[in-house]
Amino acid sequence: MASNKIRMTGMVSGMDTESLITALTSSKKDKVDKAKGEQKKLSWKQDAWKTMNSKIYSLYSGKLTSMRFSSAYDKKVTTSSSSALSVVAGDGANEGTMSAKVKSLAKAGYITGAEIKAADGSKVTQDTKVTELGIEAGTKMSFTVAGESKEIEITEDMTMYGLTSKLREAGLNASFDVDNKRLFISAKETGAANDFKFTGGDVALNKLGLTARSGATRINGSDAELELNGATFKSSTNTFKINGSTYTANSVTDETITLKTSKDTSGVYDNIKNFFKDYNDTINAMTKAYNADSASKYTMLTDEMKDVMSDKEVEEWEGKIKDSLLRKDSSLNNILSAMRDVMSQEIEIDGKKYTLADFGIDKQSYITADPNERYSYHIYGDKDDEIYSGKSDMLNSAIAENPELVATFFQELSNKLYDSMSEQMRSTDYSSAYKVYEDKKMQTEYNNYTKKIAELEEKLTEAENRYYKRFGSMESMLSKLNDSSSSISALFNM
């Protein structure tokens, strides 16, 4: 960069030295500006690729990965004849009919304390000291929580609020109702194994209204109980995990509940539809970036150029450049071509060849489609698709009539697409793993620009210093000449 030293030039000659030197070094300054512009444009391209690669990898590691496995097509649904029991079928649930009864619901242990009175008959508040209830300091209350032993020691300054705080710290829900002058204590979780029990400190417990003798009421923690096809299952919560399915008990009932498990065709359909939604979003974004308008007439702006433009003009100008960064990019074309090729392939199953069109999934006509949406797919009969919603729903029919064929076709297609994208994402000398662009090469180019800019700035500074030195010498000579002229004039005037 140019030197920051203060240079006093043009004092004798009256010349605009700064402007002259700027003009003389303009070609070197242009080289610096050009290199900086190219480096900045490269950084924008790196950012554009990071965003695009993230979108591509999201499809690859998300919906595409799940579509490769049989679980995506082995969906089951279970209906219940009663709201007392709801079921979410697991992928491995057996199809058929079962009977069930909800025998009991899980409960948390609970004590509703008796009314508490102070020893002097005054009102008990949160700030009342526990010792004012007639409980001696040093008294210890022992109890268990989920089988773990706990102990609280009553101190001289412990208040009712302090007592409930200690109980909460020990793993219980505890509060003191000032209006009703009662303690309310419960286990934090349902189930017999999570219950609590006071085991020592009877005097203190009586004074606090926490014993049957003092009038407290107690609900013991208990498990939920479900009878399924004659077998009994217990759970500390109202949820049961049985053979991969989730059963939720909502209420106790004596009636026999009928559960029917069958293939969930809508679940399989939704999986396929959601995959194509992600695929279309990704392929359309890639196509749009590849087909972007040229920005060849938009050069990178220098600081001087920005100074004479409004912020909006700068934003629009640079926006044109950013939008075109992946235009006709070879790496983008490679992944686009690879994905399009796989999706158009035939899959042979039991000697017969199938394509996506055989399942009512196809691209729009090349002529009528938006140029940036020519490679996206539509599902016939999809109610969310304005163009194809009126067509015959071939996919749902195929799932209902031959689910094994559907599963085999889409698994094989997904595996082919996955393998093809994996090949595009493999690590090379120029790209990292799971990158479809040459990120290593681009970073090397960016670092080279940094070195190049430093060298060009050094040459610019050397040139400026050289010219300042020459103009300085000229000023010095003119000054001496002026001094000599003044001396000669003075002799003639004597």
Q: Do 272 and 348 fall into the same domain?
A: yes
What CA–CA distances, in Å, run from 141 to 164, 198, 202, 414? 13, 8, 8, 64
DSSP code, position 338: H
Identify the residue whose tokens are 């990292």: 432
Question: Is the pLDDT score of 2 beyond 50?
Answer: no
Residue 309 covered by a domain: no
Identify the residue whose tokens are 């069958």: 262
- CA 267-272-276 angle, to 5 degrees, is 145
Q: Do 1 and 62 fall into the same domain?
A: yes
Task: Report the range of poorest mean pLDDT among 58-62, 116-120, 126-130.
Answer: 116-120
Q: Do 98 and 196 fall into the same domain?
A: no
Question: Is the pLDDT score of 121 beyond 90?
Answer: no
What percent of the chain has pLDDT above 90?
79
> What pLDDT is attached to residue 494?
53
- What would the pLDDT profile of 197-220 be if each residue is shown by its tens digit? 999 999 999 999 999 999 999 999
Residue 321 covered by a domain: no
Cα dihedral 52, 57, 63, 67 in deg (nearest 10): 130
> What pLDDT is attached to residue 208?
96
Q: Do 279 and 381 fall into the same domain?
A: yes
Q: Do 269 and 408 fall into the same domain?
A: yes
Q: Using CA atoms, how far apart are residues 461 and 467, in angstroms rounded to an integer?
A: 10
Residue 406 covered by a domain: yes
Cβ atoms of 234 and 107 closer than 8 Å: no
How far is Cα of residue 481 from the mean position of the Cα atoms in its chain? 76
Residue 311 covered by a domain: no
Domain extent at residue 114: 110-219
What is the mean predicted confidence (pLDDT) over 464-478?
78
How far is Cα of residue 332 from the mean position of the Cα atoms in its chain? 25
Q: Do 275 and 176 fall into the same domain?
A: no
Q: Do 6 and 92 fall into the same domain?
A: no
For 480, phi then psi, to 5°, come to -65, -40
Task: Report the range of poorest mean pLDDT among 258-267, 339-348, 431-440.
Answer: 258-267
pLDDT-derived band at 460, boundaries 50, 70, 90 = confident
Q: Do 228 and 331 fall into the same domain?
A: no
pLDDT-derived band at 16, boundaries 50, 70, 90 = low
Question: Is the pLDDT score of 493 beyond 70?
Answer: no
Count CB-CB contacts under 10 A for residue 128.
Answer: 20
Six-digit token pair at 66? Answer: 């799940």
Cβ atoms of 111 and 186 closer than 8 Å: yes
Q: Using CA atoms, how far apart are residues 169 and 195, in angstroms rounded to an integer?
A: 16
Q: Do 99 and 131 fall into the same domain?
A: no
Report how many domains make up the chain: 3
Residue 244 covered by a domain: yes
* Of 21 and 121, the one with more pLDDT: 121
Residue 481 covered by a domain: yes
Residue 313 covered by a domain: no
Q: Do 389 and 492 fall into the same domain?
A: yes
